[in-house]
Amino acid sequence: MLKNAIVGQSGGPTAVINSSLAGVFQGCISRGADNVYGMINGIQGLLDNKTVNLTQVLDSSLEIELLKRTPSAYLGSCRYKLPHYNEDTFIYEKLFKILKDLQIHWFFYIGGNDSMDTICKLSDYAKEINSDIRFMGIPKTIDNDLILTDHTPGYGSAAKYVGLVMKEIIRDATVYGTQYVTVVEIMGRNAGWLTAAAALSKAEDCEGVDMLCLPEVPFNTDNFLTKTEKLLKSRKSIVIAVSEGIKLPDGRYVCELSDDARFTDAFGHKNLTGTARYLSNMIMKKLGTKSRSVELSTLQRCAGHVTSRTDITEAYQVGGAAAKYAFEGHTGEMIAIKRVSDDPYQSTTEPKDVHKVANLEKKIPLEWINESYTDIEPIFHQYARPLIQAELTPIFINGLPRHIYLKEL
């Protein structure tokens, strides 16, 4: 009888989700797992019996190193909503049969809110049927919206990327000395953590962004135009960072006013895009000023070439800690990051009941946002700055970063 582990990745890719995968893999191997399987395309692929034996493909330390430095999800991902087992027992029976055939003892799932919901349901069902498979969740999201963890792996690197490109956009936008409003759209459906990271661009060598529009506070079109007009009186080039998820006081997303809101995913989430373009067009029409919109789009979540070493390291650590706790018998938990100190920054990991995490969202506290809803208070800088520290340079081959990829995908 073999004792095997399985690991899957779910939800939107990040620059460091593969570092967590490396952490789980190494953690399981060093604790004596016979094989570590990977689910191809998460739990959705697993239901189709799509797996890969990672013990065979990740067979050298160079592969592991490349894995840590490769963005996106090495195993593929999914946006699959597992029904509750009271609604559909069949799917659970099928899944546990597959796990039994693979001789799985430890099950790991790396993802955001929806993935923690999956761990929740699977561990509950396991209890129900007296299965002793251990189910552990590993947090991952550039949105940083999971509760009970100081922050989520993936956020630090995305925040570093956003701060960095904002500096470059600001430098670029000032060159002509003409009146110009640049509106930059940043991901984050309901939580503005990543948009707020645009404020990290401010430094001795950079004016920083002129306005933040966060999804935590209602967006008022008239106020936005008034503020922009006022800013244009003090300087020529204005750079505004807006969250894709900003909403009107009536609850509609701003991007719904544009013609780009078309899709809804498996979790019922609307596809948000076009917010910056809509606002930029409005600025041109109403203020008669030149304007440009920039959507950071997928670039911000897959920028493996500019990661935070702090983030890469923590992503690896939560993966390793998940293996440790699972092997010690824990189940139905998510590994959280606990901040020990700000300066010098130190953190550690701790397991949390996944039922207390799943389906909840951590937003920016309102007291962190200034009165006029245009900026973020210094407490945010104190919180976020340590998370973007240090770099992990890609391995450049023939001029471009080297990745690792799974041909089965």
Q: List active site positions.
A: 143
Sites for its own copies among residues 86-125 (CB under 8 A) = none
Instruction: Choose, by CB under 8 A, the member of 306, 322, 326, 369 that binds its own copies.
Output: 306
Instruction: Choose, by CB under 8 A, the member of 53, 298, 348, 370 that binds its own copies.
Output: 298
Segment interacting with its own copies (CB under 8 A) among 113-121, 136-144, 246-254, 288-296: 288-296
Least distance from C-beta 405 to its own copies, angstroms?
Answer: 6
Using CB under 8 A as the binding rule, whether residue 409 contacts its own copies is answered as yes
Q: Which is nearer to its own copies, 11 or 139 (CB)?
A: 11
Contacts of 149 by beta carbon, 8 Å cutoff, 6+ apart = 139, 334, 336, 337, 338, 352, 357
Residue 194, CA distances (Å) to 232, 268, 313 in order: 25, 22, 20
Residue 271, CA distances (Å) to 51, 229, 230 in order: 29, 30, 32
Calculate the dihedral angle through the C-alpha atoms of 308, 199, 150, 190, rounding to the nearest 10 degrees: -110
Segment interacting with its own copies (CB under 8 A) among 52-60, 73-81, 90-98, 346-354: 73-81
Kindly state the number of chain residues that form the binding site for its own copies, as judged by CB under 8 A.
Answer: 67
Q: Which is nearer to its own copies, 180 or 219 (CB)?
A: 180
Instruction: Choose, by CB under 8 A, the member of 3, 31, 65, 79 that binds its own copies.
Output: 79
Contacts of 220 by beta carbon, 8 Å cutoff, 6+ apart = 248, 249
Sites for its own copies among residues 204-263 (CB under 8 A) = 205-206, 262-263
Q: Which is nearer to its own copies, 23 or 111 (CB)?
A: 111
Segment interacting with its own copies (CB under 8 A) among 28-36, 87-95, 103-111, 395-403: 395-403
Contacts of 339 by beta carbon, 8 Å cutoff, 6+ apart = 150, 151, 345, 346, 347
Using CB under 8 A as the binding rule, whether residue 301 contacts its own copies is answered as yes
Least distance from C-beta 130 to its own copies, angstroms?
Answer: 33
CB 66 within 8 A of CB 403: yes
Residue 5 CB neighbours (<10 A):
31
CA atoms within 13 A on the CB side of 1: 3
Using CB under 8 A as the binding rule, whether residue 41 contacts its own copies is answered as yes
Using CB under 8 A as the binding rule, whether residue 173 contacts its own copies is answered as yes
The string over 37-60, giving b where at least 16 C-beta atoms fall within 10 Å of a residue's C-beta and e elsewhere, is bbbbbbbbbbbeebbbebbeebee
Using CB under 8 A as the binding rule, whether residue 343 contacts its own copies is answered as no
Using CB under 8 A as the binding rule, whether residue 403 contacts its own copies is answered as yes
Query: Cα(159)–Cα(325) distance, rounded to whole angstroms?
Result: 29
Query: Cα(160)–Cα(238) distance, rounded to whole angstroms?
Result: 21
Using CB under 8 A as the binding rule, whether residue 19 contacts its own copies is answered as no
Interaction pattern, residues 176-195, with its own copies; x per rule: CB under 8 A: xx----x-------------
Interaction pattern, residues 351-390, with its own copies; x per rule: CB under 8 A: ----------------------------------x--xxx
Instruction: Choose, by CB under 8 A, the member of 29, 165, 241, 261 that binds its own copies.
Output: 165
Least distance from C-beta 62 to its own copies, angstroms?
Answer: 12
Query: Cα(214)–Cα(192) distance, rounded to whole angstroms?
Result: 5
Using CB under 8 A as the binding rule, whether residue 164 contacts its own copies is answered as yes
Least distance from C-beta 207 to its own copies, angstroms?
Answer: 9
Q: Which is nearer to its own copies, 133 or 199 (CB)?
A: 199
Q: Which is nearer to its own copies, 17 or 322 (CB)?
A: 17
Least distance from C-beta 299 to its own copies, angstroms?
Answer: 6
Residues that bind its own copies (CB under 8 A): 9, 13, 40-41, 45, 70-73, 76-79, 160, 163-165, 167-169, 171-177, 182, 200-201, 203, 205-206, 262-263, 284, 290, 292, 294-295, 297-299, 301-306, 308, 385, 388-391, 393, 396-405, 409
